[in-house]
Amino acid sequence: MTEKKTEKKLGFATRAIHDGQEPDPLTGAVTVPIYATSTYQQEEIGKHKGHEYARVSNPTRSALEENLASLEGGSSAHVFGSGMAAITALCTMMKTGDHVVCTENMYGGTTRLFNQVLVNYGISFTYVDSSDAEKVARVIRPNTKLVHIETPTNPMMGLTDIRAVAEMCHSRGVELSVDNTFMSPYFQQPIALGADIVMHSTTKFLNGHSDGLGGVLVCTRPEHKEKFSFVQKCTGGILSPFECWLLLRGVKTLAVRMKQHDANGRAVAEWLAKHPRVKKVFYPGLPEHPQHALAKRQMTGFGSMIALETGSLENANTLLKSVRLCTLAESLGGVETLISHPATMTHASIGAEARAKIGITDGLVRISVGIEEVEDLIADLNQALSHLV
């Protein structure tokens, strides 16, 4: 940012559009160009313009990383080829013998990575109901290095009090990372609440258009910056310049999109909660959500992720195959409404027993409400729900 622009901290929507995105010094291009290059000319040994090789750094990626660090209130950001690649990078903080405590209901792919890959390297994981900071405290061990939470959880929409868990972690010398994918920095700022690292699948709301994968770690300390820049360079799971550019483009409209996601999410959740064929709705914006008060305190909106109980696998399947406007697909956070079945899709890999423990039934359906006209979405869900028994 120029000196003029940094005189005082600009608002979120302004930073989403401008931070990291000065007009291109070479051409004046207002939009950050896609620097499609694998390497950079050097004038003599050790003399270059700040970039040597694209696995290490790329100007399109640097612009994006500066932008995302600003939006989350962090000191550095490190983007990777997917959300899972970002979580994998996060876990390089651990060495053999270290222990991690995590929210018991997380995205199934995260649990799969921990239980089926990382345990083979001598790292152990304990899953806990992190809605209660005391319960988290009770499973901390002398070798616990990290507490990793997801809030709201995927798909049960359970919340963790970030401030309470952060304080508890810091009193025990443990770092806290937060998967902020469901809220985006627009509605939830975990670093301001005490988190050390924020992680996103940028594939979701940050990109917002379902046209690119990505992941990010936003950090708060110089040693994090050193560590994760080194991990990018060593492991190479970085985001391509094109996908960085897509993400920069998506983030410019994050504020307006999130406002509409939130308005549509509230309207659909309230409507579903009154529908006679819907057994239960899981949405933190509903007063009956057990952590509604916490949601109001730690988030500035409720977002557009909703889970609903249809009562049976048959009902779930009927709903999913009857929708016409909502699309049956994995993923979330795009402008279009996606509807999915956690038990056979996102959480198939954790197994029936683990699903039962966290309340993912065969009748559970998850909706990522898009930013279409909400009346059209409600009309579609209404006709689809009319087929349920």
Ligand X SMILES: Cc1ncc(COP(=O)(O)O)c(C=O)c1O
Taking the C-alpha atoms of residue 292 and residue 157, their distance in angstroms, rounded to an integer, is 11
Q: Helices 59-72 and 241-251, interaxial angle, to 10°?
A: 40
**Least gap, CB of 29 to ligand X (angstroms):** 29
Catalytic residue among 145, 204, 257, 277: 204
Mind giving me the DSSP string for 176-187? EEEE-TTTHHHH
- Candidate list 104, 175, 179, 262; residue touching ligand X; CB under 6 A: 179
- Selection from 242, 239, 245, 283 nearest residue 265 by Cα: 283
- Name residue, tokens 């310049």: 241
Residue at token pair 């010398």: 173
3-state secondary structure of 139: coil
Compare residues 70 and 154 and give the one whose CB is closer to ligand X: 154
161 binds ligand X (CB under 6 A): no
> 106 or 388, CB closer to ligand X?
106
Q: Which is nearer to ligand X, 107 or 127 (CB)?
A: 107
Binder to ligand X among 105, 181, 184, 310 (CB under 6 A)? 181
Count the residues of the shown chain that bind ligand X, applying the rule CB under 6 A.
Answer: 14
Contacts of 270 (CB under 8 A, 6+ apart): 286
How buried is 288 (Cβ within 10 angstroms: 0-12 exposed, 13-18 middle, 19+ buried)? exposed
Closer by beta carbon to ligand X, 179 or else 380: 179
Query: What's the closest the beta carbon of residue 81 comes to ligand X, in angstroms?
Result: 8
Q: Catalytic residue at 204? A: yes
> Shortest gap between Cβ of 365 and ligand X (angstroms)?
16
In whole angstroms, how close is the CB of 143 to ligand X at the nearest point? Answer: 25
When the beta carbons of 243 and 388 are compared against ligand X, the nearer one is 243
Per CB under 6 A, the segment of 40-48, 81-89, 236-244, 262-270 that binds ligand X is 81-89
Contact status: 201 vs ligand X (CB under 6 A)? yes
**Residue 55 annotated in active site:** yes
Binding mask 202-241 for ligand X (x = CB under 6 A): -x---------x-x--------------------------
H helix runs in the chain, sequence order: 12-18, 59-72, 83-90, 108-116, 133-138, 162-171, 184-187, 222-235, 241-251, 254-274, 292-298, 313-322, 352-358, 374-385
Which residue, 15 or 61, has its beta carbon nearer to ligand X?
Answer: 61
Chain position whose Cβ is nearest to ligand X:
83
d(C-alpha 18, C-alpha 78), whole Å: 18
The separation between CA 174 and the C-alpha centre of its own chain, rounded to angstroms, equals 22
Instruction: Count other Cβ atoms within 10 Å, centred on residue 26.
Output: 8
**Binding residue for ligand X, selected from 19, 72, 104, 150, defined by CB under 6 A:** 150
The only residue of 57, 62, 89, 107 in contact with ligand X, by rule CB under 6 A? 107
Of positions 20, 83, 194, 265, contacts ligand X by CB under 6 A:
83
Residues forming a β-bridge with 39: 53
Quickly tell me which residue has 């993912």 as its tokens: 360
Task: Measure the CA–CA gap between 64 and 21, rounded to whole angstroms.
Answer: 8
Residue 215: CB minimum distance to ligand X, A: 5
Interface with ligand X, residue 154, by CB under 6 A: yes
Q: By the criterion CB under 6 A, which residues form the site for ligand X? A: 82-84, 107, 109-110, 150, 154, 179, 181, 201, 203, 213, 215
Q: Supply the residues annotated as catalytic.
A: 55, 107, 179, 204
